[in-house]
Amino acid sequence: MDIKIINIHLVSIENLSSGIILFDMMETDRRLIKAWQEELCKLNNGVKLLLFNTPEDYSYPDIEVWPHISGIFYAHDEEPFLVKGLQKVMEGECYFSRKLASYLIMHAGNYRYDNLESTILTYREKEILNKLRIGASNIEIARALFISESTVKTHLYHLFKKIAVKNRTQAVSWANDNFKH
Q: Where is 36: in which H helix or E strand?
A: helix 30-41
Question: Each residue of 133-162: b (16+ CB within 10 Å) or e?
Answer: bbbbebebbbbbbebeeebbeebbeebbee
- Strand 19-24 vs strand 69-74: parallel, antiparallel, or unpaired? unpaired
Instruction: Kindly report the CATH class assigned to 19-96.
Output: alpha beta
**Rounded to two decimals, what is the model's pTM?**
0.56
Domain extent listing, the chain: 19-96, 108-178
Let me know if the fold of 19-96 is the same as that of 108-178: no
**Domain 108-178 = CATH 3.90.550.10:** no
The pLDDT score that the predictor gives to residue 5 is 60
The pLDDT score that the predictor gives to residue 111 is 45
d(CA 132, CA 135): 5
Reduced to 3 states, what is the DSSP secondary structure of residue 52? strand
What DSSP state is assigned to residue 120?
A: G
The pLDDT score that the predictor gives to residue 119 is 47
d(CA 102, CA 144): 9
The pLDDT score that the predictor gives to residue 131 is 92
Q: What residues in the chain have per-residue pLDDT under 70?
A: 1-17, 44-45, 108-119, 180-181
The pLDDT score that the predictor gives to residue 45 is 65
Reduced to 3 states, what is the DSSP secondary structure of residue 178? helix
Confirm if 51 and 30 have CB atoms less than 8 A apart: no
The pLDDT score that the predictor gives to residue 161 is 86
